[in-house]
Homo-oligomer: A and B are copies of this chain.
């Protein structure tokens, strides 16, 4: 069972969400069936339906919870108050910290392009997070600290590169905690063209 991204009032609901996250990550939402989720959660099938009206709602809940936790972890109030360059560096560290602590949740979020089961409402969190990130990047571009160009695109590349690292981690079995985040950070900051960072700045979280 993966570590929960949030604590939950009800322990059974919690177990269901955790089991579901784990299985959706392993197999896909479509590829997972409800009895399996119940089995892994150690509850009866009927119990799942006490907490979620149907499988789609369970999927949305898993997604929304994970995405919200990710957004909150990555953009904190401290980040909001920091200058753009510092903010970017903090976000990078937060992302590493989140993906290290909750690898399954992170991986699950990764694959939700295909969210046939996600209604637009569930995607709001995604947009909010995106907007905030883009704004920070634009601010950094405005002061010439980051390479010019479509900020969305830059963001996608940076995030993509990080996802690449996590995929490699899962494929190779080498946990995220084992990487040389200093040099990965330098590489990624080069990608952004980020001026104004001293060598040795990026250290393992």
Contact = CB atoms under 8 A, between A and B. Distances in A.
Contact of A167 (B116, B156, B165, B190): B156
Interface string A160-190: 1111110110101000000110011001101
Contact of A28 (B26, B30, B188): B30
A170 to B, nearest CB: 8
A187 B183 contact: no
B152 A159 contact: no
Nearest to A160: B164
A143 interface: no
A89 interface: no
Contacts of A192: 187
A30 B24 CA distance: 12
Interface in A17-31: 26-31
Secondary structure at the A interface, as helix, strand, loop or mixed, is helix
B152 A160 contact: no
B152 A156 contact: no
B116 A114 contact: no
Contact of A156 (B28, B157, B165): B165
A164 B167 contact: no
Interface string A106-122: 00000101101000000
Contacts of A147: 183, 187
A191 interface: yes
A75 interface: no
A149 B174 CA distance: 15
Which of A111, A114, A149, A170 gathers most chain B CB within 10 Å?
A114
A73 B31 CA distance: 31
B161 A164 contact: yes
5 contacts: A149-B180, A152-B168, A160-B163, A161-B164, A190-B193
